[in-house]
């Protein structure tokens, strides 16, 4: 008996809801999304046992405590950037040349903070609201938000060395929390959390998400921007080996499938509320946006419209995200919603 027949016999089939009415842009293959929404039969993946000492076996596993002090790493990177093209490219991509102040200003000028401010405004988050930038690093995002009028900001970063410039530049306009015990003591204070490129550094995502959740008001949003993704073992190994700082400077980072972030975070009291796909608005929310130019097959205006008109709600971007997860988990092809620029989570009730 096939698994499908077994399931049919032993478990009454739930009523299948009508597929939501989705209008993908002409450049997207509508049949793929429709097929995914119609829940195709499971496909068995062909497997080979492979060899010993394969690429996963050889992958160096790095923990944060193996890494050095962030200030020391940064000094080494600056020296390496002068001679090593990989690190020089990293500096180009993230606008890391110049002094600390130059870098802070370069980020402000890049407009990511402004674009995000407009975006979080669509969820009712306003400049007078209380917002924390979790894992803020040098605090570029918190500083950008402060420059455009956000007043009640907390910059949370466990590595105190990273926030020294922010302390000098922002004075008492931004509260800095470096002590995790203080962070863990904050209760129901924030209307929103923002985070940029930090969740993939967390060694236990749900644990740290619970700590973050406790700082949020009921119903508050968490805008998780620019994470690190890999779906297949080959993609994973490539990502882990290709990361310019992971092995060289012993920084703990991990590439996960987008659905893994979502499942881990939703499982501890959040609901995925919206997903901003790659390429939307010319990658306006990512410092690395320029590294992912729009493919010829994607119509920028149509994609912007699709997202703007369906950002939230039952047939919105969350549905498109899961449709792409279903369609792409077992087949190669484009990735847009599963390479999101922003995942929006809402702190929701636990019954
Ligand atoms: C790639 S940096 C990103 C910094 C900053 N958000 C940005 O975009 O420039 C990742 C940051 O995550 C922080 N981090 C690591 N573990 C963390 C944790 N458990 N909670 C909060 N932040 C953490 C690191 O200290 C580091 O500053």
Contact 282, 294 (CB under 8 A): yes
pLDDT at 29 over 60: no
Decide: 277 in ligand 1 pocket, CB within 6 A: no
Cβ atoms < 10 Å from Cβ of 95:
18
pLDDT of residue 273: 98
pLDDT of residue 170: 93
64-68, 212-216, 321-325, range with the lowest pLDDT: 64-68
pLDDT of residue 329: 74
The domain defined by 78-347 folds into Rossmann fold (3.40.50)
Mean pLDDT computed over every residue of the chain = 87
Tens of pLDDT, residues 138-157: 999 999 999 999 999 999 99
Decide: 158 in ligand 1 pocket, CB within 6 A: yes
Contact 252, 67 (CB under 8 A): yes
pLDDT of residue 308: 95
Long-range Cβ pairs for the range 297-306 (8 Å, 24+) = 297/27, 297/334, 298/25, 298/27, 298/28, 298/336, 299/25, 299/26, 299/27, 302/25, 302/26, 302/27, 303/25, 303/27, 303/28, 303/277, 303/279, 303/336, 304/280, 305/25, 306/23, 306/24, 306/25, 306/28
- The helices-and-strands tally (H runs, E runs) of the chain is 15, 7
Q: Which of 93, 135, 136, 250 to mutate to test the pocket of ligand 1 (most atoms within 8 A of CB)?
A: 135
Decide: 202 in ligand 1 pocket, CB within 6 A: yes
Residue whose token pair is 């929701």: 348
**Cα angle value 278/283/345 (rounded, 5°):** 60
Give the whole-angstrom CA distance, residue 183 versus residue 122.
Answer: 27
Residue 330 DSSP label: S
Domain layout of the chain by residue ranges: 78-347
115-124, 169-178, 294-303, range with the lowest pLDDT: 294-303
pLDDT of residue 9: 47
Give the whole-angstrom CA distance, residue 348 versus residue 345.
Answer: 9
DSSP secondary structure letters along 262-319: HHHHHTTTEEEEEEE-TTGGGGTT-TTGGGSPPPTT--HHHHHHHHHHTSSSTTSHHH
Tens of pLDDT, residues 287-340: 888 788 888 888 899 999 999 999 999 889 999 999 999 887 766 677 899 999
The two beta strands, 152-156 and 130-134, are: parallel
Decide: 155 in ligand 1 pocket, CB within 6 A: no
- State what percent of residues in the chain have pLDDT above 90: 64
Contact 285, 276 (CB under 8 A): yes
The rounded Å distance from CA 156 to ligand 1 centre is: 9
Give the whole-angstrom CA distance, residue 119 versus residue 207.
Answer: 27
Decide: 139 in ligand 1 pocket, CB within 6 A: no
- Residue 69: which region, alpha, beta or left (left: phi > 0; alpha: psi -120 to 50)? beta
Decide: 245 in ligand 1 pocket, CB within 6 A: no
Tens of pLDDT, residues 30-62: 565 566 556 555 555 567 888 999 999 999 999
């Amino acid at each position: 008996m096939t698994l499908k027949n077994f399931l049919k016999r032993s478990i009454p089939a739930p009523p299948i809801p009508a597929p939501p009415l989705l209008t993908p842009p002409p450049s997207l293959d509508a049949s793929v999304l429709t097929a995914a929404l119609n829940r195709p039969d499971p496909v068995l993946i062909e497997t080979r046992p492979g060899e010993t000492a394969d690429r996963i076996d050889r992958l160096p596993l790095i923990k944060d405590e193996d890494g050095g002090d962030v200030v020391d790493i940064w000094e080494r990177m600056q020296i390496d950037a002068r001679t090593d093209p990989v690190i020089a490219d990293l500096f180009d991509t993230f606008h890391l040349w110049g002094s600390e102040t130059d870098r802070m200003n370069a980020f402000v000028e890049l407009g990511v903070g402004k674009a995000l401010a407009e975006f979080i405004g669509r969820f009712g988050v306003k400049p007078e609201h209380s917002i924390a930038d979790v894992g803020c690093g040098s605090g570029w995002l918190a500083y950008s938000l402060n420059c455009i009028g956000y007043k009640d900001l907390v910059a949370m970063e466990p590595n105190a060395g990273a926030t020294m410039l922010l302390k000098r530049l922002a004075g008492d306009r931004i509260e800095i929390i470096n002590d995790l015990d203080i962070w863990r003591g904050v209760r129901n204070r924030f209307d929103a959390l923002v985070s940029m490129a930090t969740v993939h550094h967390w060694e236990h995502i749900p644990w740290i998400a619970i700590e973050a959740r406790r700082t949020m008001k009921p119903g508050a949003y968490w805008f998780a921007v620019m994470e690190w993704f890999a779906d297949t073992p080959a993609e994973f190994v490539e990502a882990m080996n290709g990361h310019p700082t992971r092995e060289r400077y012993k920084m703990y980072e991990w590439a996960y499938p987008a659905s893994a972030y979502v499942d881990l975070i939703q499982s501890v009291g959040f609901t995925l509320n919206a997903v901003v796909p790659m390429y939307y608005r010319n990658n306006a929310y990512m410092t690395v946006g320029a590294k992912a130019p729009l493919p010829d097959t994607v119509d920028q205006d149509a994609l912007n419209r699709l997202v703007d008109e369906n950002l939230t709600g039952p047939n919105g971007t969350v549905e498109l995200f899961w449709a792409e997860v279903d369609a792409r988990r077992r087949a190669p092809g484009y990735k847009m919603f599963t390479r999101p620029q922003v995942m929006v989570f809402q702190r929701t009730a636990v019954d």
